[in-house]
Structure 1
């Protein structure tokens, strides 16, 4: 019987070693997996940003009332007129309040840019986009003294010669 007890003790000791060894191997693989995820080469992402949820940027759209603007012309007698509607967008959460408060500056900036255009230049495009949109965006941002306007969309335009 003494031999039987010693044999049972050896078996129990061997199975404990086997369980501990299995746990060590399991932890080793888990560590390799986590390390690979954390230290993998991701150029544009910081270490902390991998573990924090991304906050989605909220785009604010602010439609402007219709504009009726005289274009620059050689002749004052037959001055061309453009009727246009615009929507400006921003990623700044306080932009809608700013646009509403400073609407006179925003409208003045648009009128200034458009009034300096001619019939020949109002529809100029580059890569499928009206060039005037960038000019309007820059002028509004200048007037507001902040880069708050993200994009300008021309929602309606009509030119009368």
Structure 2
């Protein structure tokens, strides 16, 4: 009879250990989740699951040969530049292709207002001219079509 009384106690000890481990795991998990919620990282983590893979499309532009604004009045300063415009989907890529004249006009209007001194100005390690061109293209097209600009060739004289 003593052996029968001891058997349930031996089974209770592993159950208690299992319950204690389960409670510790729940406390650690709850603390982690609570920390993620309070720091806002949980929302980022959840939205990352909902995001689709964004396919970017590059739309190459024809070469531009533009006279630069001159500080001394000499008409000899010019810029030859090639670039590609990045957009986030095929529909916007089609808009860039269909409205190539508007895109070229926007790019030329930004470039013609630059001088040899200001063409390579940088802000935070990025050419200022890139952001100006993107803004002008989006403004002229009436929506955020261009997301990035890549300069593939540039010559200035």
TM-score (norm 1): 0.74
Query: Deviation of residue 18 (structure 1)?
Result: 1.4
State the SS of the aligned residue for 1:89: strand
Q: Is 1:49 matched with 2:45?
A: yes
The counterpart of 1:93, out of the listed 89, 92, 95, is: 89
In the alignment, what sits opposite 1:148?
145
More helix by share: 2
**For this pair of structures, how many residues does the alignment match?**
152
State the SS of the aligned residue for 1:148: coil
TM-score (norm 2): 0.76
**Gapped regions of structure 2 (runs ≥ 5):** none
1:58-137 map, 5 Å: 58-73=55-70, 74=73, 78-90=75-87, 92-94=88-90, 95-126=92-123, 128-137=125-134
The counterpart of 1:23, out of the listed 3, 6, 18, is: 18
**Gapped regions of structure 1 (runs ≥ 5):** 1-5
Sort the Cα spacing of 1:120 and 1:43 in 2 relative to 1 into closer, same or farther, 3 A. same
The CA RMSD over aligned residues, in Å, is 2.8
